[in-house]
Structure 1
């Protein structure tokens, strides 16, 4: 059936010239896009080992940004673009370095262990009912313990002199130059003067939080060991007896007692060489008792 002239005019009005031109432009864009995709070389996917290495560097170095990590990768011979490092960090929801620079207390203690001393008071009671106060210090890295004194009356003058004696001991042993921090709690038995004395020696006093013993965890762990191995197993007659027991225990702890953090060595004594099977078969062990058998030490028999 032939279309009327009016119908043809309506059909021509359905599509304008601009629409036809737009269709033509869209068609050409799609053709160019498909052609460019065929010509483009696809970037290889980042291998898993590189991804793990980037995340490790970011975790171990909170102050490093993606460009610093990229530079370290280049030193290791790992070829990766800086944008790739940024993308890996972004995908893992790792913030840029300024947001990762906050150092936790545990990380601070680990990184500065060689320069940290910790100090604390330990209370005990003799058989006569007298309360005694033990002041001790421990080196975080070497685990060496120093019993600074024992008294029933820890006056400010007594504590100040004990700290001066500690500094002289550190200087005599050549360790004073390595110590930069001393951790202690906010006990009122510490006078403000000791912070000035320590500061003159280049040591900064770091106060723990209120009721936060974990901030002085190394010292608190030693206090627990002291109680378990000595104070809870021995009847202390008086102050003189306590001093004698502490001298013996300090020597035992520094020269004989092993530590996992020191690869089974004592703070002041390296472990001996491992024995072979034949020498173990011939080994004869002698026990030496200290403090009436409270402490046992074992050595090869001559």
Structure 2
């Protein structure tokens, strides 16, 4: 093999120097980028996963501690090398790992959670006894650990709370829901917004349209309350609870008139339409299937559209719904 000539040696030296400078520029950029990212964190400590530690340990060991001191910015070089040594020990100590208590089957865990949710007064030992009746032998501390892992409070706390599902089940046959929905209608003065108030009997999905004013004020709401409860054949006769949101249209006078014959207004949390799903679903259906497909001319056309669409929806929802099915929906 011929010895390289001087021009070839000079060319290789220039190429090596250029590559070295390019690599240095890349390293300088990456260091500066890491500094910017650290500044964005505001001094907060990074929380790395085990997988991220393994990747850094493998790369850091390959380049050595001296070079790590120049490039490492997330953690110190000593930390990276310590992770590497820990990975080596873990690799060769798999045979000496201590085994903890065997975990319980997933089905048993689900059963424990279900018992606690469906029986609010059952404590750890009561659930332990119920499991023993079906052949599942567990310590009460195991039951306690499972419930804590699922964020379920002790019986002393659970028994003082009422979930939304339990409320629905307890008052299903005497429960009603109400809400407003808006519709744009062309009138002589231009495009006018009408606010329709309706009430639904939750178990049967039967709906009563109270009215559609352009500005539902206190007087309208008082008349609406009287229409709902003041007569023997009023829609809310026999109802004990009315679910409504925190809209300011539901005035204090409206609530007081309902309360006289024994109808309690149950206000759902703010910005929680999922707590009044039956009314929300009915509004969505009547808008998507009817109102959004029409150009409404005058108040009369709005009333006719709502009445006809309401009767159609009522025929489809004529089968009574159980509280369990409605809650899942």
Calculate the TM-score normalised by the size of structure 2.
0.54
Distance 1:112 1:262 in 2: 13
In structure 2, relative to structure 1, the CA distance for the partners of 1:175 and 1:123 (3 Å cut) is closer
Tell me, in whole angstroms, the C-alpha distance in 2 between the residues paired with 1:106 and 1:88.
27
Q: Deviations over 1:194-230 (max 9, x none)?
A: 1111111212112233333333232222211111011
* Contact 1:54–1:88 (CA under 8 A) maintained in structure 2: no
Structure 1 Cα separation of the partners of residues 299 and 208 of structure 2: 18
Q: Which ranges of structure 1 fall in alignment gaps of 5 or more residues?
A: 1-45, 264-302
| Residue aligning to 1:268 | none
Q: 1:217 to 1:58 in 2, by over 3 A?
A: same
Q: Give the one of 274, 299, 307 matched to 1:214.
A: 274
Q: 1:203 aligns with which of 239, 242, 263?
A: 263
**What value does the CA root-mean-square deviation take over the aligned residues?**
3.4
Q: What residue in structure 2 maps to residue 58 of structure 1?
A: 116
**CA deviation map 1:53-98 (0-9, x unaligned):** 5543223222322455467679xx65789xx573442242344312
Mapped partners of 1:92, 1:210: distance in 2: 32
Secondary structure of the 1:224 match is helix
How big is the shift at 1:107? 4.8
- Go from structure 1 to structure 2 and tell me whether the alpha carbon gap of 1:79 and 1:227 turns closer, same or farther (over 3 Å shift): same
The separation in 2 between residues aligned to 1:240 and 1:174, in whole angstroms, is: 23
- Is 1:153 the counterpart of 2:215? The answer is yes
Question: Partner of 1:139 in structure 2?
Answer: 201
| Cα distance in 2 between the residues matched to 1:59 and 1:153 | 44
2:140 is aligned with 1:86? yes
State the number of aligned residues: 211
Q: What TM-score do the two structures reach when normalised by structure 1?
A: 0.58
Alpha-carbon shift at residue 134 of structure 1 (Å) = 0.6
**Contact 2:196-2:209 within 8 A present in 1 as well:** yes
Alignment partner, residue 119 of structure 1: 178
Contact 1:70 1:85 in 2 (8 A): yes
C-alpha contact 1:116 1:140 (8 A) present in aligned 2: yes
Partner of 1:235, secondary structure, is coil
Are residues 133 and 61 of structure 1, via their aligned partners in 2, closer, same or farther at CA, if it must alter by over 3 Å? same
Q: Would you say 1:257 and 2:316 are equivalent positions? A: yes
Matches within 5 A, 1:23-102: 53-66=111-124, 68-69=126-127, 78=134, 84=138, 86-94=140-148, 95-101=153-159, 102=161
User: 2: CA distance between counterparts of 1:226 and 1:194?
Assistant: 25
Give me the whole-angstrom Cα distance separating, in 2, the residues matched to 1:104 and 1:173. 30
What does 1:1-12 align with in structure 2 at a 5 Å threshold? none
Which of the pair is proportionally richer in helix? Answer: 2
Aligned counterparts, 1:222-233, within 5 A: 222-233=282-293
